[in-house]
Structure 1
Amino acid sequence: MDDAPLSRFHKKLALYSSGGPFLDGYVLSIIGVAMVQITPQLHLSSSAEGLIGASALIGIFLGAFMGGYLTDKFGRQVLYTIDLVAIIGCSVAQFWATDPVWLFVLRLLIGMAVGADYPIATSLLAEFTPRRYRGPLLGGLVVMWFVGAAVAYVVGEALLNVGDDGWRWMLASAALPATIIVLLRLGTPESPRWLANKGRIEEAEKVLKQVYGPEATIGDLLEEEERENVDLKAIIRSGYGGRMLYISVFWTCSIVPLFAIYAFGPKILGALKLEGSLANLGSALITVMFLIGCVIALLGVNRMGRRPLVIHSFVWSGLALLLLGIFPDAPAAVIMVLFAAYAVIIGGTQILQWVYPNELFPTEVRGSAVGLASSASRIGAAVGTYLVPMALTDWGIGGTMLAAAAINVVGAVVSALWAPETRGMALHEAAALSPKTEPAGRPAAV
């Protein structure tokens, strides 16, 4: 399995697994457009507006824990479709929401389903994908987050024209891509590794032959060393507490401004004098810039190195936010250029959210560490998103952008102090507490 060629099955599985990140970007971004109509119609206070904006993030935090537990207990394949069915139902139900409480609850449930899909889909993809392609296919899922966000802004702009109920159609629209993904996922086989682990040997061998050909047998599955679950105390006792702290802080600083911009992009651009259609289309353009930034970062991470990339990404994207804070009344073209610059340059920190945690921890604690850091970052993102409407009201757009720039400064400082360089190292060398000096010359491809 690990050395099999990349087949059509693997490509389809990667595409279908990317549905979760796509819906994540879509759900978190469409609310920013919809809020333009929701706020006056439901008479939302700044606090209620922030809670609704952050509700899906809170749900993702809860759902990731739950999804990981359930997929290990009941399997990947069944939950692979059930979680999206929940998204469909809750998305449609939003159409009839009449008060902020129900809207908050429904978006919380949608966030839980989206969050649950991450461990479910990525586990299934990782357990089928050959080792040579596992990294690129898993890492490429982040691209679909930005695709979903860009599509959400375009759809939101189109649905604003249907009248006062436009926001209802926007929020319900997530059901359409979720339905398509569910239909595509039907028939996906269960992970043979999970089946074998549960003692269902005949079923596992049947899946192996279906995917890899009649010559494949259960003997092709490598025996994996059993490891007991590692909790937070064990991570700290093992000497990785410092790395855990760095990953949590770096990850949080990299996504708090980004998620706030996605949740309230049109409102932020409106405060910067880019209103109406220009604000929504501007948000879509910025999302495309985020996507371009991630692609550029992926192409340069091995050449530039992890440590310089994360520091430069924080510093120069923070400068763009600083200028937006100092000059909130600048011409529209200047504002768009600065937002686009932030979106492209912050791509370095975005892709390192997937690279750094997996390189800096050994196999015994890697899953626990990545899950813990992801949860901590979502808490920060939810708090930041909740505070954005109040910050816009109390501080104005200039002060809000300055606060976002300050978060980037924190990320740059902690990275300058604690970020290691793992370029060109073998995985076990990068994960060692005292890694060897980076090898001279051109680093090996990762």
Structure 2
Amino acid sequence: MTTTTDVARIADRLDALPFTRRHARVLGGSGLGWALDAMDVGLISFVIAALAAQWQLAPTEASWIASAGFAGMAIGASLGGLLADRFGRRHVFALTLLVYGLATGASALVGGLAALLVLRFVVGLGLGAELPVASTYVSEFAPARMRGRLIVILEAFWAVGWTAAAVIGYLVVPTSADGWRWAFALGAIPAVYALIVRWGLPESPRWLASRGRDAEASAIVRDFEAAAGRVSLSPAPAIEERAGQVQRTRVRDLWAPRLRARTAALWVLWFCVNFSYYGAFIWIPTILVSQGYDLVRSFGFTLVITLAQLPGYAVAAWLIEAWGRRATLAAFLAGSAVAAVFFGTASGEAAVIAAGMALSFFNLGAWGALYAATPETYPTPLRATGSGWAAGVGRIASIVAPLSVPPLLGLGGAPLLFIVFAAFFAVAVVAALFLREQRGRALAER
């Protein structure tokens, strides 16, 4: 059987490593898939704005295009985490990319709303499963002293993908009646390359050790040690792996007495941040169009606002190891709340862009800190499951948020809408204070 000592030895060797080209390969390969996810999610905000005019969609019908994808993401996130804890991180990566890549390509061929809704749901299954698995995967390779920073850098690939979506939205979608089809086609092509890259990545040694596959785990760690110019002094395990007594993954274990407060705080955080983020950013192009800006101009504003995500991630990546997870997350969420109020009440181009950039800066910095803190909350046998279910609960909010925007706009316009978003950010600030601080600490293995 696998002992706590065997698992801890693998973990200690990983935490003792410097950052190597092997880490860069894991981070880059995972980040590429992350960016492609963001590009797909970002593209839908521009597609909705175009299809609302081309297909003469009612606001509720347009909101269902976004919500169908998020419904798939809610299910995908929950199942993806369970599958990754059962069958391994790498294999789930490949499966999720295949699912969402094929469905995104097929979306370019649809002729009506019903078919698009079905395909967006399937796309969501793949996207939802990948994100929590990717953050879990990278966190299990990252040395403890830099783990938070590397996860924020991983999350920064989201800004790269969303910026790519904004560029495609600005340059491709408005060019013709079929511009949105070309956008979906472009969203599918890179997934093929990402799938190839992912097959070349190693499995998580922490997961392998937790499943009794010590020889495989040790061999992967030795590759990382060799890349760092180190010779392992740890004896190689026997080729025959230890038999099973492997902890079974059960969702109810997330609510064990020692974990229930952390799980509750994470679920509240994920719900509130998803509601405000997707409610705002999916609808920003459409809201700008409704305020009198033409399609090209509103897409241009969105592109500028999106660029502010990158410095938000950069600052969060530095603060998360300087201040810690809780303080960084709470600070960026508070900044998001203030920026949301200013955006909702902004008038004039300069004010709209400035407030939007502030919202983008703080909100995406908060996402980076949240993704860093989430996998650290749970031990290895539950890490992907815990991350996946937190993300799944968040996706429920991302389903509700786009549907809530039209009635809120009808009741009080943009000011009321963004005050509601600010209130959700404020609740998230409180929830962040209940997280366990993990800065510089080793990941729990049991």
| TM bucket normalised to smaller | 0.7 to 0.9
Distance 1:210 1:131 in 2: 19
Identify the range of structure 1 (6-15 vs 364-373) with the bigger mean alpha-carbon deviation.
364-373
Distance 1:366 1:124 in 2: 9
1:288 aligns with 2:307: yes
RMSD: 3.7
Give unmatched runs, 5+ long, in structure 2.
1-12
Distance 1:285 1:389 in 2: 24
For residues 188-230 of structure 1, the C-alpha deviation after alignment (integer angstroms, 9 at most, x for no partner) is 3455666676677776677667665597774399999966346
The answer to whether the Cα contact below 8 Å between 1:321 and 1:404 also exists between their aligned partners in 2 is: yes
Matching residue of 2:105: 92
**1:19 positional shift:** 2.4
After superposition, residues 198-237 of structure 1 pair within 5 angstroms as 218-219=236-237, 228-229=247-248, 231=250, 233-237=252-256
After superposition, residues 6-405 of structure 1 pair within 5 angstroms as 6-122=19-135, 124-126=137-139, 128-131=141-144, 133-191=146-204, 218-219=236-237, 228-229=247-248, 231=250, 233-304=252-323, 306-325=325-344, 327-328=345-346, 330-358=347-375, 367-405=384-422
Counterparts in 2 of 1:331 and 1:113: CA distance versus 1, 3 Å: same
**1:183 positional shift:** 3.5
**1:81 positional shift:** 3.0
Matching residue of 2:9: none
Letter in 2 for 1:164: A
**1:169 positional shift:** 1.1
Matching residue of 2:4: none
Identify the range of structure 1 (198-207 vs 347-356) with the bigger mean alpha-carbon deviation.
198-207
1:407 aligns with 2:424: yes
Distance 1:246 1:106 in 2: 33
Secondary structure class of the residue paired with 1:164: coil
Q: TM-score, normalised by structure 2?
A: 0.81
For residues 324-354 of structure 1, the C-alpha deviation after alignment (integer angstroms, 9 at most, x for no partner) is 33x35x1110111111122223345323312
Identify the range of structure 1 (393-402 vs 94-103) with the bigger mean alpha-carbon deviation.
393-402
Distance 2:294 2:130 in 1: 35
**1:52 positional shift:** 0.8
**1:115 positional shift:** 2.2
Counterparts in 2 of 1:26 and 1:425: CA distance versus 1, 3 Å: closer
Q: TM-score, normalised by structure 1?
A: 0.81
Identify the range of structure 1 (72-81 vs 47-56) with the bigger mean alpha-carbon deviation.
72-81
The answer to whether the Cα contact below 8 Å between 1:272 and 1:397 also exists between their aligned partners in 2 is: no
**1:426 positional shift:** 4.6
Letter in 2 for 1:422: E
Distance 1:10 1:323 in 2: 40
For residues 164-193 of structure 1, the C-alpha deviation after alignment (integer angstroms, 9 at most, x for no partner) is 111111122211221232233343345566
Give unmatched runs, 5+ long, in structure 1.
431-446
**1:16 positional shift:** 1.0
Distance 2:199 2:374 in 1: 32
Secondary structure class of the residue paired with 1:173: helix
The answer to whether the Cα contact below 8 Å between 1:91 and 1:173 also exists between their aligned partners in 2 is: no
Letter in 2 for 1:278: R
The answer to whether the Cα contact below 8 Å between 2:207 and 2:380 also exists between their aligned partners in 1 is: no
Letter in 1 for 2:77: A
Distance 1:395 1:244 in 2: 34
Matching residue of 1:435: none
Identify the range of structure 1 (385-394 vs 216-225) with the bigger mean alpha-carbon deviation.
216-225
The answer to whether the Cα contact below 8 Å between 2:332 and 2:362 also exists between their aligned partners in 1 is: yes
Matching residue of 1:439: none
The answer to whether the Cα contact below 8 Å between 1:261 and 1:268 also exists between their aligned partners in 2 is: no
For residues 115-169 of structure 1, the C-alpha deviation after alignment (integer angstroms, 9 at most, x for no partner) is 2223554455455555555443333211011111111011111113431111111
Identity within the alignment, %: 25
The answer to whether the Cα contact below 8 Å between 2:49 and 2:286 also exists between their aligned partners in 1 is: yes
Distance 1:174 1:339 in 2: 25
Secondary structure class of the residue paired with 1:219: coil
Identify the range of structure 1 (179-188 vs 16-25) with the bigger mean alpha-carbon deviation.
179-188
Q: How many residues are treated as equivalent by the alignment?
A: 426
Counterparts in 2 of 1:400 and 1:208: CA distance versus 1, 3 Å: closer
Distance 1:363 1:225 in 2: 16
**1:17 positional shift:** 0.9
For CA contacts below 8 A with separation 6 or more, give which structure has more relative contact order.
2
Distance 1:347 1:309 in 2: 12
Counterparts in 2 of 1:225 and 1:308: CA distance versus 1, 3 Å: farther
The answer to whether the Cα contact below 8 Å between 1:271 and 1:397 also exists between their aligned partners in 2 is: no
The answer to whether the Cα contact below 8 Å between 2:275 and 2:397 also exists between their aligned partners in 1 is: yes
For residues 335-376 of structure 1, the C-alpha deviation after alignment (integer angstroms, 9 at most, x for no partner) is 111111222233453233124445555667655443332221
**1:295 positional shift:** 1.6
Letter in 1 for 2:274: I
